[in-house]
Structure 1
Amino acid sequence: MGLRFAVDTGGTFTDLMVADEAGVLSMHKASTTPSDPVAGVIDSLRIAAEAVGEPLADYLGRGDILVHGTTHAINAIVTGSTAKTAFLTTKGHPDTLVFREGGRIEPFNFTVPYTEPYVPRALTFEVPERIAVSGAVKTPLDQDAVIEILRQVKAAGVEAIGVCFLWSVVNPEHELAVGALIEEVLPGVPYTLSHRINPSIREYRRASSTCIDASLKPVMGAYMRGLEQRLRDAGFKGRVLVVTSQGGVMDAARVAEAPVHLINSGPSMAPVAARAYGAGDAAETLIVGDTGGTTFDVSLVRRGRIPRTRETWLGQPFRSHMTGMPSVDVKSIGAGGGSIAWVDAGGLLHVGPKSAGAVPGPVCYGRGGTRPTLTDASVALGFIDAKFFLGGRMALDKDGALDAIRRDVAEPLGKSVDEAAESIVTLATEHMVQAIMDITVNQGIDPTQATFVAGGGAAGINCVAIARRLGCKRVLVTEAGAALAASGALISDLTTHQQAMFHTRSDAFDRDGVNAVLATLKAGCEAFAAGPGAGATSVSIEWSTEARYTDQAWEIEVPLHTEAFTSPADIAALVGDFHRMHQDIFAVSDDKAEIETVSWNAEVRCRIAPDEPGRLAADTRPARLPSRPVRFLGTDWVEADVWRLEAIPEGQMLTGPAIVESDFTSIVVDPGCKAWRDASGNLVIEV
């Protein structure tokens, strides 16, 4: 096996993890180029090649696999640079994207309007056709009308088409016919059929995911082709894979055909890495915080499983668009190392959501930034050594950071620079804690019984402060934590998701019908394993169903422990699992009530990476560094021990106040805490 690369493009830095032929890891970072993200990917690979003294072409020529996590899809949506898209829907239902699901964050606040529909009404076309809920054709498809609609679509300059008809998930006959007409009348125009991309019973979610997918096809197809071509030009001859929102990877060419899977590409990998590196942790729940330069992403690992959700919004819930696709449950807020601190006209301090990003970056980077950030505050407090940033490759301007904090925060608040810097870190910590509360306490999970896994380049700054505020007793910073998402991508599986709708009730369970659906899903999984997954060291299928109490409005996803229902005991096991899952999520259940299933899911996972995460190369540098003064939160300046993370021997106990530095992050060990490195290379901090 040759070199394996994993690249995660963030808002500030592009992280690269490399596993060599022996499985030894190395970590590298390059500045992200917002106008050309692939340039940051090539730059990070060039830094890695220089570290081993090889020309880039020779180095890449040794590579077998490159896994890429990208924010290009979500950025295209946020910046409005997706393709001009038309929406074809059943006659009489043109307002699916307008009405959506009708919820509000603030029920009585009518000053905030709903966002415009993802596809405007002017590009929404009603197609004469109708399939009944039984699958029978109620109104035959009017092909002449479709051809006329497609001529109007062409005249409007449309670049992509989304097709979503009522009950196509039961009978896709009309959607398939329209797809064939698009190929005939508008050859080369990309289109998406709803029954293929998201066979869900929820009409708005299915329509939304269809239109989002279609709108991304031109831009993501071009991006993927450009990525592969530029990697080939640089000397890479291996397989290019891309991280999906579901926490797996797919071939770049394949995922370009279904780019809606890329919306949460980067953040989905952090819990994958946390699960692998924290496998020995006794806690039932791992809270995963990935702190980059622009955002703080929080997710969970519960009982070894990574929770999924279909409630994935492209902004605020109900005030933005829903993808409607299963995704790793990640909450992201604008709080990272580059988050800008500012004081409003009323004298209140804010940190974020605006970020200095990679350009111009924090003031201390010396690249033209003038507004103080969380990173500047960390330099001011001594958390970050201005002379050892990125392993000494980048000297920081501490005086510039102090001046910016004095001007923009300290003087408006009437505080000293030290007090202002501490206030910035404290407020950023509180924002992160509230994000964690949303996915723990608000979902019935007790954070005091969880371990906090900290990742990302800025994770170490306040990971202990976050844990203390939550009541967590332990913090785990993985050896490669500064590139947590990239390290997760390096060990991720090749995956695909199969779904089919089939309704039945537990008191009248259609065993034959369910088994027929499961057999079809299994055949699709096996075809994937034999095709893109060929050569995998192992193949597994994870089964689940979306179920609810009879006549309940919403479903929950319940894992299945069988691929076929052969006895009443299998049905009873499903019902019992549903009650337990409902109790976990809502703190209430009714074990005497019947349940009904709506859809069935199978996810095939093909193992293409080693089973165990690798270790960084042994460090021969001294583990103990000269101490330095640090101002910890809630203390005055104290002399703190300084350690080099990569060189700390396994089991070596260190006590706070201390700073643990690596080439890519600084970890603040507050006074009173104890820390040590475990057998996996993780830094474990007892709070």
Structure 2
Amino acid sequence: MRVSTDMGGTFTDLVVEDDKGQVQIFKSPTTPLDPLRGVLATVEVAAEARGESLAEFLGQVDTFIHGTTRSLNAILTGNTARTGLVTTQGHPDILLFREGGRTDPFDFARDYPAPYVPRALTVQVPERIGADGSVVRPLDEQAARKALNELRQREVEAVAVCLLWSVVNPSHERRIGELIEEELPGIPYTLSHLLNPIIREYRRASSTAIDASLKPLMGTYLHALERDLTHHGFRGRLLINTSAGGVQDADDIAEAPIHTIGSGPAMAPVAGRHYARVDADVDIAIVADTGGTSYDVSVVHRGRIPVTTEAWLGPQYFGYMTGFPAVDVRSVGAGGGSIAWVDAGGMLRVGPQSAGAEPGPVCYARGGEQPTVSDACLVLGYIDPQYFLGGRMVLDAAAAEEAVLRHVGRPLGLNAHAAAEAILHLATEHMVGAIEEITLNQGIPVEEAVLVGGGGAAGFNTVAIARRLGCSRVLLPGVGAVLSAAGALMSDLSAEFAATSRTVTTGFDRDGVREVLDDLWRRSEKFAEGPGSGAVETTIELFAEARYPHQVWELEVPLRVRRFASDEDVEQLRQDFHAVHEDIFAIRDAESPVEVVGWRARVRCRLNDTDKNPELVSASAGGTRHSRTAYFPETGLVETAVVPFELMEPGEELFGPAIVESAVTTVVIDPGAQATRTASGSLSVKIPLTQRRTTETTKEALPR
């Protein structure tokens, strides 16, 4: 049996896959002050639903996959370890100078961003490695010891080491690592050449500093998670989600916790791609994961999970860059817990503030006072207050309606239903904007794409979002309410290795490149034979990070060969780069040589036999078919059919207005739309051409 958990800002999701391939899904409120308690509480809910004790349940689990926002939240709230930075003498401002860039060049009121590690905790050591790997200036060990003693006096809790050109000759960084163990015993540290051996000093230094700052926190957290699970009967393998869309062993993640940043949202595209292929037979999917706090969007194009090397923590240019390739997911502050309010100018706003898990929406009756999107949906009749979380939580509908009226309805002169519709409509517009930003920038034809909705709050308005975008089809998987957790079950054990070695196609260094690629291949095989042993299938891919000469940025080009044995192989690389460049920038310089500055290897080990269990099937119990009054802008209040998700038979059609609900989610089928249950268990919604790209305004939300 395999279990996957995803800890979000509002709910912790859990997916249980048994040996027969059947899946049960569960949710439980996240406990921000004690996140491990929330994880175990969700596991207890699953055990209770199966009629088992916690020890009996965990004793059957072979693999426990965990996704967490712990590291990201620590960075955003400033709760990381007090970290010192060791740099080459004369270069203490790598993190301050960064790579430049301004989103608004005429905004001079915005303060220059502070470095991730302050100058007061940055020390310099006399040493210098040249770009060719030669020792220009030997390491002054006495001065290095003195610098480390300064950090000890400043009470640092972690140390990051990033020296110039350590990626081609790491001898000085290795020695400083040894000195740290002597001078600062017990203090965790990160060496840049081991973590992220790439060129570009800022990215390498930033990733090193971020990783070191997370080691005390994440090491403690992961070890406590493993200890608690073991104490309650778990004897299997603990895996952690990574930002690259894979999983790794908990012990490996504790050594490089930077890979957990953004790991939860990275799993949704994995599941979205799967269901787009199975249920719609398309390779273009817009994957939207709606949680309680955020709305995460990604686009699967040509069947490939989107990857970016521009992963920022916080606003672009003003936040911090991770320096690692990561699944490209864009987030906006719009979710079920997003707070609605009217500003001083009389304008309705929704988010980015969120009620989170504590106190949560007003209807949770836990102290929340401001209305949220979830409160609005309850007022509209989309949620059954007696069946929330399968009846484990009863919602206060009267309190939600009063909050919507007090904070939105009366200030805008609207009744409760019109105010609630206005809140949901504005949240929908925020979500549409997030999708349009990523699809328009990449030239994605939305009319050819399928919109895959995930997250507990996805069903409220995914059909409305598709209508605004012009999508003809919406997919809401049976496990859509826990899409990221389900994606983790589909993901591979993976690792990535990088090396720096510059060459040009006009004078290709075959011997040097062969050594680099052979080393990357050996490291990949070592991973496959170690953590990946016993995998159903293992794949190793090689990539070149290439550019036209004098370009600033590189593009990733898949290699067709393991070794460049002939001029034809080199020419093939050049032509492949031209094709990638044209695909991204719509232009190529066919006569130009190509410069390669780095090389990467990605190894993926498939742990489960997807041929044996190709589909995830919901195994949760349902209720009965009935109806209730709900509000739609096209019809006003209308008696609406309510169908339990589990009772819809494959091929059964349902015409809107209608509501399909389960213990963990609610799907609103707008008037005119047609829903069908697919063979895999997904809900497929078709939107008539006449309803797509309709221009809706807040006038539709006014009282009728």
Query: What is the distance in 2 between the residues matched to 1:384 and 1:121?
Result: 52
Query: What is the distance in 2 between the residues matched to 1:56 and 1:354?
Result: 36
54, 57, 60: which is aligned to 1:59? 57
Secondary structure in structure 2 of the residue aligned to 1:638: strand
Query: What is the distance in 2 between the residues matched to 1:581 and 1:683?
Result: 36
Aligned ranges 1:119-138 → 2 under 5 Å:
119-138=117-136
Which string of whole-angstrom CA distances, capped at 9 and with x for unpartnered residues, describes residues 489-544 of structure 1?
A: 11211111111111122232223322221111110011011111111111111222
**Alpha-carbon shift at residue 364 of structure 1 (Å):** 1.1
Amino acid at match of 2:28: A
Secondary structure in structure 2 of the residue aligned to 1:370: coil
1:675 aligns with 675
Asked if 1 retains the 8 angstrom alpha-carbon contact of 2:276 and 2:282, the reply is no
Of stretches 435-444 and 82-91 in structure 1, the one that deviates more from structure 2 is 435-444
1:615 aligns with 616
Aligned ranges 1:319-330 → 2 under 5 Å:
319-330=318-329
**Alpha-carbon shift at residue 349 of structure 1 (Å):** 1.0
Secondary structure in structure 1 of the residue aligned to 2:312: coil
Of stretches 86-95 and 545-554 in structure 1, the one that deviates more from structure 2 is 545-554
183, 186, 189: which is aligned to 1:188? 186
Which ranges in structure 1 are unaligned for 5 or more consecutive residues?
none
Matched, 1:83 2:84: no
Query: What is the distance in 1 between the residues matched to 2:584 and 2:402?
Result: 48
Matched, 1:510 2:509: yes
Amino acid at match of 1:493: D
Change (3 A) 1:586 1:632: farther
Query: What is the distance in 1 between the residues matched to 2:266 and 2:683?
Result: 23
Aligned ranges 1:588-667 → 2 under 5 Å:
588-611=587-610, 612-617=613-618, 625-667=625-667
Change (3 A) 1:592 1:674: farther
Say how many residue pairs are matched.
684
1:24 aligns with 22
Query: What is the distance in 1 between the residues matched to 2:295 and 2:317?
Result: 21
**Alpha-carbon shift at residue 630 of structure 1 (Å):** 2.0
Query: What is the distance in 1 between the residues matched to 2:156 and 2:614?
Result: 46
Secondary structure in structure 1 of the residue aligned to 2:46: helix
Which string of whole-angstrom CA distances, capped at 9 and with x for unpartnered residues, describes residues 214-268 of structure 1?
A: 1111111000111111111111111111001111111111110001111112111
Query: What is the distance in 1 between the residues matched to 2:308 and 2:620?
Result: 41
Secondary structure in structure 2 of the residue aligned to 1:8: strand
Amino acid at match of 1:651: G
Query: What is the distance in 2 between the residues matched to 1:571 and 1:648?
Result: 56
Matched, 1:357 2:359: no
Of stretches 585-594 and 206-215 in structure 1, the one that deviates more from structure 2 is 585-594
Amino acid at match of 2:489: L
1:684 aligns with 684
Query: What is the distance in 1 between the residues matched to 2:640 and 2:433?
Result: 29
Secondary structure in structure 1 of the residue aligned to 2:277: coil
Q: Which runs of structure 1 show a deviation greater than 6 angstroms over 4 or more consecutive aligned residues?
A: none
145, 149, 153: which is aligned to 1:147? 145
Asked if 2 retains the 8 angstrom alpha-carbon contact of 1:33 and 1:358, the reply is yes
Secondary structure in structure 1 of the residue aligned to 2:15: strand
Query: What is the distance in 1 between the residues matched to 2:586 and 2:468?
Result: 24
Aligned ranges 1:496-645 → 2 under 5 Å:
496-611=495-610, 612-617=613-618, 625-645=625-645
What is the aligned-residue RMSD (CA, Å)? 1.5
Of stretches 388-397 and 399-408 in structure 1, the one that deviates more from structure 2 is 388-397
Amino acid at match of 1:76: A
Asked if 1 retains the 8 angstrom alpha-carbon contact of 2:23 and 2:619, the reply is no
**Alpha-carbon shift at residue 619 of structure 1 (Å):** 6.6
2:9 aligns with 11
Amino acid at match of 1:154: R
Change (3 A) 1:614 1:235: farther
Matched, 1:449 2:439: no
Query: What is the distance in 2 between the residues matched to 1:576 and 1:464?
Result: 42
**Alpha-carbon shift at residue 467 of structure 1 (Å):** 1.0
Of stretches 168-177 and 646-655 in structure 1, the one that deviates more from structure 2 is 646-655
**Alpha-carbon shift at residue 575 of structure 1 (Å):** 2.6
Query: What is the distance in 1 between the residues matched to 2:325 and 2:622?
Result: 45
Aligned ranges 1:165-314 → 2 under 5 Å:
165-280=163-278, 281-314=280-313
Secondary structure in structure 2 of the residue aligned to 1:483: helix
Asked if 2 retains the 8 angstrom alpha-carbon contact of 1:492 and 1:609, the reply is no
Secondary structure in structure 2 of the residue aligned to 1:28: strand
Amino acid at match of 2:403: A
Query: What is the distance in 1 between the residues matched to 2:219 and 2:625?
Result: 49
Which string of whole-angstrom CA distances, capped at 9 and with x for unpartnered residues, describes residues 67-115 of structure 1?
A: 0000000111112111111111111111111110111111110111122
Secondary structure in structure 2 of the residue aligned to 1:637: strand
Asked if 2 retains the 8 angstrom alpha-carbon contact of 1:270 and 1:484, the reply is yes
TM normalised by structure 2 equals 0.95
**Alpha-carbon shift at residue 599 of structure 1 (Å):** 1.0
Query: What is the distance in 1 between the residues matched to 2:90 and 2:119?
Result: 13
2:395 aligns with 396
Query: What is the distance in 2 between the residues matched to 1:618 and 1:82?
Result: 40
Amino acid at match of 1:399: A
Asked if 1 retains the 8 angstrom alpha-carbon contact of 2:363 and 2:396, the reply is yes
Query: What is the distance in 2 between the residues matched to 1:571 and 1:7?
Result: 45
Secondary structure in structure 1 of the residue aligned to 2:321: coil
Amino acid at match of 2:676: W
Matched, 1:97 2:95: yes
Which ranges in structure 2 are unaligned for 5 or more consecutive residues?
688-704
What is the identity percentage for the equivalent residue pairs of Structure 1 and Structure 2? 55
Change (3 A) 1:340 1:257: same
Query: What is the distance in 1 between the residues matched to 2:639 and 2:616?
Result: 31
Query: What is the distance in 2 between the residues matched to 1:639 and 1:502?
Result: 67
Asked if 2 retains the 8 angstrom alpha-carbon contact of 1:150 and 1:182, the reply is yes
Query: What is the distance in 2 between the residues matched to 1:558 and 1:422?
Result: 47
Amino acid at match of 1:616: V
Query: What is the distance in 2 between the residues matched to 1:304 and 1:539?
Result: 19
**Alpha-carbon shift at residue 572 of structure 1 (Å):** 3.3
Aligned ranges 1:465-504 → 2 under 5 Å:
465-504=464-503
Asked if 2 retains the 8 angstrom alpha-carbon contact of 1:4 and 1:18, the reply is yes
Query: What is the distance in 2 between the residues matched to 1:140 and 1:618?
Result: 65
Secondary structure in structure 1 of the residue aligned to 2:474: strand
Amino acid at match of 1:654: L
TM normalised by structure 1 equals 0.97
**Alpha-carbon shift at residue 629 of structure 1 (Å):** 2.3
